Structure 1
Amino acid sequence: MTSARSQTRSTPSTVRATSVSTATLTVQTSGCGFIDLTAEAARFIADVHARDGALTLFIRHTSASLTIQENADPSVLVDLTTVLSRLAPDDEDAGWTHDTEGPDDMPAHVKTMLTGTSLQVPVLGGALALGTWQAIYLIEHRTHPHRREVVLQFVGG
Structure 2
Amino acid sequence: MQYTQRELQLSPYRRGFHLITDDISRAMPELATLQQGLLHVFIKHSSASLTINENADPTVRGDFERFFNRAVPENEPYYQHTDEGPDDMPAHLKASLLGSSVTLPVTAGRLNLGTWQGIYLGEHRDHASGRTLVLTLHGR
Q: Give the alignment's TM-score, normalised by structure 1.
A: 0.83
CA contact (8 A) 1:65 1:112 kept: yes
Root mean square deviation of aligned Cα: 1.4
Do residues 88 (structure 1) and 62 (structure 2) align? no
Measure the CA separation in 2 of the matches of 1:36 and 1:47.
Answer: 21
Measure the CA separation in 1 of the matches of 2:129 and 2:3.
Answer: 29
CA contact (8 A) 2:18 2:61 kept: no
The 5 A counterparts of 1:26-65 are 26-47=9-30, 49-65=33-49
Report deviation, 1:33. 1.4
Partner of 2:114: 131
1:28 is paired with a residue whose SS is: coil
1:89 is paired with a residue whose SS is: coil
Report deviation, 1:101. 1.0
The total of aligned residue pairs comes to 139
2:104 is paired with a residue whose SS is: strand
Measure the CA separation in 1 of the matches of 2:28 and 2:35.
Answer: 8
Which of 118, 121, 125 aligns to 2:104? It is: 121
**Poorly superposed stretches of 4+, deviation over 4 Å:** none
Structure 1 residues 94, 80: CA separation in 2 closer, same or farther (over 3 Å shift)?
Answer: farther
Measure the CA separation in 1 of the matches of 2:77 and 2:108.
Answer: 48
Structure 1 residues 114, 50: CA separation in 2 closer, same or farther (over 3 Å shift)?
Answer: same
2:90 is paired with a residue whose SS is: helix
Do residues 74 (structure 1) and 53 (structure 2) align? no
> Percent of pairs identical after alignment?
42
Partner of 2:7: 24
CA contact (8 A) 1:28 1:148 kept: yes
Measure the CA separation in 2 of the matches of 1:145 and 1:57.
Answer: 19
2:40 is paired with a residue whose SS is: strand
Structure 1, unaligned runs of 5 or more: 1-17
Q: Give the alignment's TM-score, normalised by structure 2.
A: 0.92
Report deviation, 1:86. 0.8
Measure the CA separation in 1 of the matches of 2:77 and 2:60.
Answer: 25
